[in-house]
Amino acid sequence: MSVSNQSRAVDLRVTGTVQGVSYRAACAEQARTLGLVGYVENLDDGAVHVVAEGTPDAVESLVDWCHDGPDAASVDDVEVRDVAPEGHDDFTVRR
């Protein structure tokens, strides 16, 4: 029973008030709860970048969560691109 053919990976760019509001930590916690792997990081332009991979349902759940984020965040937009899975081992918080 292979999971690879049932895997989805996305690259997200989240804009709004998403830095300095614990967005990365909350996103990582949500992703780990959903069993996803990948990473989240701040971008120099004030956006947050998320790469996540796992089951299609779990990925979609994280994408939905990213539209709201943690309570202190104010999300304006989430750009979603489907990408090839990179085979991450876990979900990490970068810079």
Per-residue model confidence as pLDDT tens digits over 34-93: 999 999 999 999 999 999 999 999 999 999 999 999 999 999 999 999 999 999 999 999
Question: Does 2 have pLDDT greater than 70?
Answer: no
Does residue 15 form part of some domain?
yes
HSE of 80, CA atoms in CB hemisphere, 13 A: 16
Total domains in the fold of the chain = 1
The model's pTM is 0.93
42 part of the active site: yes
Q: Which of 42, 81, 94, 95 is catalytic?
A: 42
Q: Which of 5, 8, 24, 81 is catalytic?
A: 24
Does residue 50 form part of some domain?
yes
Q: What pLDDT band is residue 6 in, cutting at 50, 70 and 90? A: confident
24 part of the active site: yes
Query: Which CATH number characterizes residue 41's domain?
Result: 3.30.70.100
Nearest to 79 by CA among 4, 12, 3: 12
For residue 72, give its domain range.
Answer: 4-77
